[in-house]
Structure 1
Amino acid sequence: MEDVNKFIESGILELYVLGNVSPAERREVEAMIQKHPAVRAELEEIEKALESYAFENAIQPSDKQRTKVLNSLVVNLADDRTFTKKETVTEPTVITMRQPGTSNFYKYAFAASVALLLASIVAIYNLSNKLQQKTQELVAANLQNQKFTTTVNFMNEQLGVFRDTSYKILHLKGTKNLPHGNMLVAWNPVKKKVMIDLQAVNMPVNDKEHQYQLWALVSGKPVDLGVFDKITEDGARMKEMRPVALAEAFAVTREPRGGSVNPTMSEMMVIGQF
């Protein structure tokens, strides 16, 4: 009895049911089935368990896929004589025992295995898509965090402009071209930094062909400090312009987009001097 139990616990009965044994192992199993009712009973229980598992986990494929799979795979197993011929030719001395419903179980189990394989492929594909989507969301969130951090740092710098006593705050007032125009310029001659407060700019929004250009008057000559728009894409409050160490006055003209080499005096919008 100990040998029978060891034989049952070896796992060869499961392999036999799945058809994954050598001819010699098949003969050994069938001999044990004939000799020991316990082996036969255990085999029947394994067949029932695997068949129940196959049907419980089977996933209904589409009609097209089901027809293709069953026609190409299961139908080839419908003729049990194929197995009889192979067993008769290769092993003529073996007496094959057929359990009721065993052949059908093989066919159904194989079909269920194929269905499970297809379902697994679909599940892996869906999981891959979800992982890719989550990765993209993580990248987007990281970029958003970086943008937020940059914005916070820049806002701190903006506040620092008004706290730093080394900055000189100059109010530029409108000319005859824009009598009610005005804007705020913060200039630090020590750091050579020039900042403009875009939120305090009281000038019209330019069209696509024009931009405002800031000039510093240095020794009576205009120095280009860069161009700007009243409304920026990132919604920034302050904008840093080109540095200048000395300045007698600041002025803004309306120029073609990209700026001009020399200011267009007839398009001067605001001006202020120390």
Structure 2
Amino acid sequence: MDINAYIESGILELYVAGKLSETENQEIYELLQQHPKLLQEVIEIEGAVLKLTAAVSPRAKGFESIKARLEAEDTKVVQLQPRQTNWISYTGWAASILLAAGLFWTLNQNTDLEQQLQTADIENQYLETQIEDARTDLAATKNLLNVIRDKDIIAVPLGGQGDFASSFAKVYWNKADNTIYLDAEGLPNAPEGKVWQVWSLTLNPLTPTSLGTIDDFNTDDNKIFTIANANESQAFGITLEPEGGSDGPTMEQLYTLGVVASAP
């Protein structure tokens, strides 16, 4: 479709003036929705007419001369009817203005609806993710409860030591699968540059074996950690060590210690 040729045909002026049939009006209305340039042309035509009618009344002195000049310049202006009353003359313009306003409202409503649908879709995706995370957390919680309630589980309380008497932790040791579940809620966040390190101990002679560091302690909300332990542990301890861990425990930084009940 040649947009410029369509504009120059003068049909948009007739559309604005309300001089077309219902079928033609519908066709142009649909084109306005498809072609922003046509819509802008309609708006400009209406603006020009409004300025003209605001400045010149059909009964005002000099109206005929102004009308003659406009016709002489071959300007695309819909013929005005000076013999009719103002209300009748401007009914077509008012209707076209309302139509354009309605079209703008419809376009804006469609844009708002699309934005609302996009927002709702994002919110639904977020909600689905939250639900899935909750289900995962619930499954993990149920699994943990089943583990610590097992009749063969060994529970080892770890009490605070020395200057850290207020600290505490608890180990749940499942010897069947060589796993311990460490509940470290009673430990403070590790200072910058430090990490918590967990130790398996044998007592005679005292021999510590590192079970690793808890690098994500500060960011973990539950403070429950699963740690592999294939050792014949007689005790467990937790020390505060430099990042990366230590080969042996720093005894001055021994926060908690607990002896396995069955140990001699």
TM-score, L = length of structure 1: 0.57
Residue 244 in 1 paired to residue 230 in 2? yes
Residue 215 in 1 paired to residue 199 in 2? yes
Q: What residue is the counterpart of 2:95 in the other structure?
A: 109
Secondary structure at the counterpart of residue 211 of structure 2: strand
Taking the aligned partners of 2:189 and 2:135, their CA distance within structure 1 comes to: 28
- Cα 1:198–1:268 change in 2 (3 A) is closer
* 8 Å Cα contact 2:169/2:183 also seen in 1: yes
- Cα 1:259–1:139 change in 2 (3 A) is farther
TM-score, L = length of structure 2: 0.59
Residue 125 in 1 paired to residue 111 in 2? yes
Instruction: Judge which range, 110-119 or 69-78, deviates more.
Output: 69-78
Q: What residue is the counterpart of 1:73 in the other structure?
A: 45
Pairing of 1:185-264 with structure 2 (within 5 A): 185-199=171-185, 201=186, 203-217=187-201, 220-227=207-214, 233=219, 235-236=221-222, 238-257=224-243, 259-264=245-250
- Cα 1:209–1:273 change in 2 (3 A) is same
- Cα 1:237–1:159 change in 2 (3 A) is farther
Taking the aligned partners of 1:158 and 1:117, their CA distance within structure 2 comes to: 61
Taking the aligned partners of 2:138 and 2:43, their CA distance within structure 1 comes to: 65
Q: What residue is the counterpart of 2:254 in the other structure?
A: 268
Where does the alignment leave 5 or more consecutive residues of structure 1 unmatched? 1-13, 22-49, 51-67, 87-99
Measured after TM superposition, the shift of residue 158 of structure 1 is 2.4
Q: CA RMSD in A?
A: 3.9
In the alignment, residue 112 of structure 1 is paired with which amino acid? L
- Cα 1:75–1:238 change in 2 (3 A) is closer
* 8 Å Cα contact 2:159/2:256 also seen in 1: yes
How many residues align? The count is 199
Q: What residue is the counterpart of 1:170 in the other structure?
A: 156
Taking the aligned partners of 1:108 and 1:81, their CA distance within structure 2 comes to: 23
* 8 Å Cα contact 1:177/1:267 also seen in 2: no
